[in-house]
């Protein structure tokens, strides 16, 4: 009997450890994950989320108050940590004002870009979507884009070449607008708002790039953060000038921390790397 109990205990311990490792210990006791994004978007479009993915965020759905949305526009600035948001909240003032809510979101492990965006747009933890390291293969499992396309919705991604979002969601019957510079990406992002896309996903990696090179709170990185916030506000202004009821979000993938040599990094299972800010609203 004791042997059986011992076996059950060690099995439970193994499962528990595995789950914690995959989901990240730096998020222990904290709120909802970035994986809620997929089901939240699907529910907003009246598409039933598959049972195997993370449930939608009620808190975010509530801002739409049952309103039917015409489209969703998600802006993905890279590496905007929750601690950065809290410390530099005054810089987020306008973005907060023109949106409805901001929430703390837990990332996934390892907290690197392809792993996190795969989780955000599949609703799955890394062990289920399969990207578990800094690699950018095309995802074979179903993503938000597949669910949307199956329901007759039109999707596009606007991003910079070589980046995770530009690669892991390829090979779907949707539009990919991939450019060399962020300026071109952001110009195109504003243009596609005049088209009939149901889901628009936009990626900007400038904060992440400056953060790695000069440190998360360097003048260069903070100026990139300001650029991200300025563009988000510009995007929302244009969204609000249209008749379409649009759900919008500012959704980062993972956080960051300072390392020796005045550089920045992420990928660890720590509070700094595992907690991000998401801002949402509906027009």
| Options 62-70, 92-100, 153-161, 247-255: segment touching Zn ion (CB under 5 A) | 247-255
**Residue 269 touching Zn ion (CB under 5 A):** no
Q: What are phi and psi of 204, to 5 degrees?
A: -130, 120
- What is the rounded distance in angstroms from the CA atom of residue 231 to the CA atom of residue 233? 5
| Options 35-43, 183-191, 249-257, 268-276: segment touching Zn ion (CB under 5 A) | 249-257
Residue 115 three-state SS: helix
**Residue 78 touching Zn ion (CB under 5 A):** yes
43, 253, 269, 273: residue in contact with Zn ion (rule CB under 5 A)? 253
**Residue 113 touching Zn ion (CB under 5 A):** yes
- Minimum distance of Zn ion from residue 129's CB (angstroms): 16
- Minimum distance of Zn ion from residue 228's CB (angstroms): 12
Are 279 and 35 a contacting pair, CB within 8 Å? no
- Minimum distance of Zn ion from residue 133's CB (angstroms): 14
Q: Which is nearer to Zn ion, 236 or 276 (CB)?
A: 276
**Residue 273 touching Zn ion (CB under 5 A):** no
Q: Tokens for 37, please give them.
A: 């994004």
- What is the rounded distance in angstroms from the CA atom of residue 111 to the CA atom of residue 122? 16
- Minimum distance of Zn ion from residue 195's CB (angstroms): 27
- Minimum distance of Zn ion from residue 278's CB (angstroms): 14
Q: Which is nearer to Zn ion, 41 or 79 (CB)?
A: 79
- Minimum distance of Zn ion from residue 19's CB (angstroms): 23
- What is the rounded distance in angstroms from the CA atom of residue 214 to the CA atom of residue 112? 18
- What is the rounded distance in angstroms from the CA atom of residue 86 to the CA atom of residue 75? 20
Q: Is 253 exposed, middle or buried (0-12, 13-18, 19+ CB in 10 A)?
A: buried
Q: Which is nearer to Zn ion, 54 or 163 (CB)?
A: 163
- What is the rounded distance in angstroms from the CA atom of residue 75 to the CA atom of residue 170? 18
- Maximum Cα–Cα distance across the chain: 69
- What is the rounded distance in angstroms from the CA atom of residue 282 to the CA atom of residue 63? 7
Q: Which is nearer to Zn ion, 32 or 78 (CB)?
A: 78
Contact footprint for Zn ion (CB under 5 A): 78-79, 113, 253
């Amino acid at each position: 009997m004791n042997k059986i109990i011992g076996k059950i205990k060690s099995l439970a311990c193994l499962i528990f450890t595995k789950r914690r490792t995959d989901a990240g210990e730096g998020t222990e006791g904290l709120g909802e994950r970035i994986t809620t994004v997929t089901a939240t978007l699907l529910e907003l479009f009246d598409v039933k989320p598959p049972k195997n993915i993370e449930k939608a965020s009620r808190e975010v759905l509530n801002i739409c108050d049952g309103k039917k949305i015409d489209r969703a526009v998600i802006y993905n600035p890279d590496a905007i940590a929750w601690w950065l948001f809290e410390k530099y909240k005054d810089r987020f003032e306008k973005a907060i004002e023109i949106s409805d809510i901001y929430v703390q979101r837990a990332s996934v492990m390892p907290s690197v870009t392809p792993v996190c965006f795969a989780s955000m747009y599949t609703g799955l933890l890394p062990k289920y979507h399969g990207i578990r390291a800094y690699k950018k293969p095309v995802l074979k499992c179903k993503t938000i884009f597949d669910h949307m396309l199956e329901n007759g919705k039109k999707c596009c991604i606007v991003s910079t070449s070589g980046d995770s979002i530009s690669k892991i969601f390829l090979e779907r019957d949707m539009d990919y607008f991939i450019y060399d510079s962020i300026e071109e990406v952001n110009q195109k992002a504003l243009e596609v708002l005049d088209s009939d896309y149901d889901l628009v996903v936009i990626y900007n990696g400038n904060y992440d790039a400056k953060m790695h090179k000069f440190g998360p709170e360097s003048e260069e990185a903070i100026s990139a953060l300001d650029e991200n916030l300025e563009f988000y506000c510009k995007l929302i202004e244009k969204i609000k000038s249209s008749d379409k009821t649009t759900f919008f979000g500012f959704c980062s993938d993972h956080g960051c921390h300072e390392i020796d040599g005045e550089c920045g990094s992420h990928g660890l299972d720590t509070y700094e790397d595992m907690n991000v800010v998401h801002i949402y609203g509906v027009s």
